[in-house]
């Protein structure tokens, strides 16, 4: 049961330091967490042909990720981001991604073969960031894949991670995200992202109702310390969250997605899958960085 995860991976500089090569990105974080739990995961992105690109791809292979669909751009390299934490563990970011290879991944040789293979896999997962970093052709290809899979009864998971800096206008992000919601079978939005995207004050229930009205079959609305809300066909359930001391909030939502998706794909019922997602999110909140790198116990 292979999962194809589409997105952008970046090199990470953390204000609290940390030795060794660090990398991250919302969908990559989810891919690594799922691979560490034994999932068969293919990560779809583009990097350069430089030694640092070689090193990060080798690291992903060591994590158990299938890197056959990590495409190489002859003139570009991975983007970079910096994280700064405040005293409460909340993060702010700076990005250097204009020359990111992932921006042109759908123009590279081999991507059509990737899309064809992804048509029949167990699950396709991507985020609004995945759609933001590529051009219109890339968005059309990924959304087309999703609509085709949904029509064939295959699973597509989508998280509307919203980063305003990636969009020329909020209205454009709203249109693209709505198209992705309509093509998804499972939605994994965060309440804060959605409110920011739409400049609204929707409750979690209103958010889930809107996603369902757009055509998304099931929705899990992540609400941080308030827990999460599930809405599906004829069912709505709220799951409270356990309190945790936050060291670093980076990647908690990505971790929830990984724990939830892995559990569902291995046959867990809804409460068990939500519990798995929340447990992995709590673990991630307790250490620096979105991903605990091998050998780094901080």
Answer for the pair 11, 79: CB distance below 8 angstroms, yes or no.
Answer: yes
Candidates 287, 174, 169, 276; CA nearest to 228 is 276
CA–CA distance, 58 with 61 (Å, rounded to integer): 5
Catalytic residue, from 86, 136, 254, 269: name it: 254
Candidates 290, 269, 270; CA nearest to 281 is 290
Is 254 designated active site?
A: yes
Do β-strands 186-187 and 10-14 pair in parallel, antiparallel, or remain unpaired? unpaired
Do β-strands 228-232 and 218-222 pair in parallel, antiparallel, or remain unpaired? antiparallel
Length of the chain in terms of residues written: 298
Alpha-helical (H) ranges within the chain are 26-36, 51-62, 111-118, 128-132, 136-151, 170-183, 191-198, 204-214, 252-265, 270-285
H helix or E strand, kind and range, residue 72: strand 70-72
- 111 Cβ contact partners less than 8 Å away, ≥ 6 residues apart: 71, 105, 141
Answer for the pair 235, 274: CB distance below 8 angstroms, yes or no.
Answer: no
Query: Which residues are part of the catalytic machinery?
Result: 254
């Amino acid at each position: 049961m292979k999962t194809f995860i589409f997105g952008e991976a970046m090199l990470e500089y953390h204000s609290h330091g940390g030795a060794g090569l660090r990398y991250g990105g919302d969908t990559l974080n989810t891919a690594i967490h799922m691979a560490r739990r034994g999932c068969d995961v293919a990560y779809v992105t583009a990097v350069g042909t430089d030694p640092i690109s070689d090193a990060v791809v080798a690291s992903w292979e060591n994590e158990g990720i299938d890197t056959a669909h990590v495409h190489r751009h002859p003139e570009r390299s991975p983007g970079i981001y910096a994280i700064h934490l405040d005293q409460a563990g909340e993060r702010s970011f700076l990005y250097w991604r204009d020359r990111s290879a992932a921006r042109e991944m759908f123009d590279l040789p081999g991507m059509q073969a990737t899309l064809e293979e992804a048509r029949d896999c167990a699950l396709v997962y991507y985020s609004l960031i995945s759609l933001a970093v590529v051009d219109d052709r890339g968005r059309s290809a990924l959304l087309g894949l999703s609509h085709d899979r949904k029509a064939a009864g295959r699973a597509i998971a989508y998280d509307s991670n919203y980063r305003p800096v990636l969009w020329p206008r909020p209205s454009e992000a709203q249109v693209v995200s709505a198209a992705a919601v309509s093509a998804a079978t499972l939605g994994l939005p965060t309440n804060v992202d959605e409110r920011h995207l739409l400049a609204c004050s929707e409750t979690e229930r209103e958010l889930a109702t809107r996603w369902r009205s757009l055509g998304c079959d099931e929705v899990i609305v992540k609400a941080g310390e308030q827990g999460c809300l599930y809405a599906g066909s004829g069912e709505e359930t709220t799951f409270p969250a356990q309190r945790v001391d936050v060291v670093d909030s980076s990647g908690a939502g990505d971790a929830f997605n990984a724990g939830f998706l892995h559990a569902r794909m291995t046959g867990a019922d809804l409460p068990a899958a939500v519990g798995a997602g929340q447990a992995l999110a709590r673990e991630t909140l307790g250490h620096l960085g979105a991903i605990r790198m091998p050998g780094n116990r901080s």
